[in-house]
Amino acid sequence: MKINLSQKSAFTLVEVVAGMVVCGIVFISLYAGLSQGFKITQFAREDLRATQVMVERLESVRLCTFDQLTTPGFVPTNALEEPYYWISTNDSGGFNYSVTVTVSNAPLSGLSYTNDLKLVNVKVSWVSSGTSRSRQMSTLIARNGLQTYIY
């Protein structure tokens, strides 16, 4: 059997290089998409844990009576540390959230009940991947609020 060389066909060098460029772009895009997806998931987990820490602090403040809330030093306002992993020690690779609670007068003026309201602000800050991040949550506590009915 005789093979005619003019009928054989193959890819040229230009076609091979163009195919490799396309494959390279596809693989780089795939890697970038996966790594960005993992980073977004990690940030969402950190935000969720920060929200849990803030809600925990606000719920503990809501259990206080108004007189306890206005007593200096009763509610810890200095920076507290909460771990990222709730069963964590620092050996597990987690980090700590810095939690600050402030109790101040309500930002209302000219109302008869202004002195009966307090503004409680909880701020959580942390450093993740070299970036400082923070979240905060606020609530108003009234002298004649739910605590009057509970206690």
The domain locations on the chain are 52-150
pTM: 0.70
Whether 67 and 75 have beta carbons less than 8 Å apart is answered as no
pLDDT of residue 38: 93
Q: What letter does residue 139 receive in the DSSP assignment?
A: E
Q: Is pLDDT at 126 greater than 70 in this prediction?
A: yes
Measured CA to CA, the distance from residue 92 to residue 47 in angstroms comes to 19
pLDDT digits (tens, 9 = 90+) for 43-78: 899 899 899 989 988 888 888 888 888 888 787 777
pLDDT digits (tens, 9 = 90+) for 90-107: 555 578 888 988 888 888
d(CA 117, CA 114): 6
- 122 and 57 Cβ atoms separated by less than 8 Å: yes
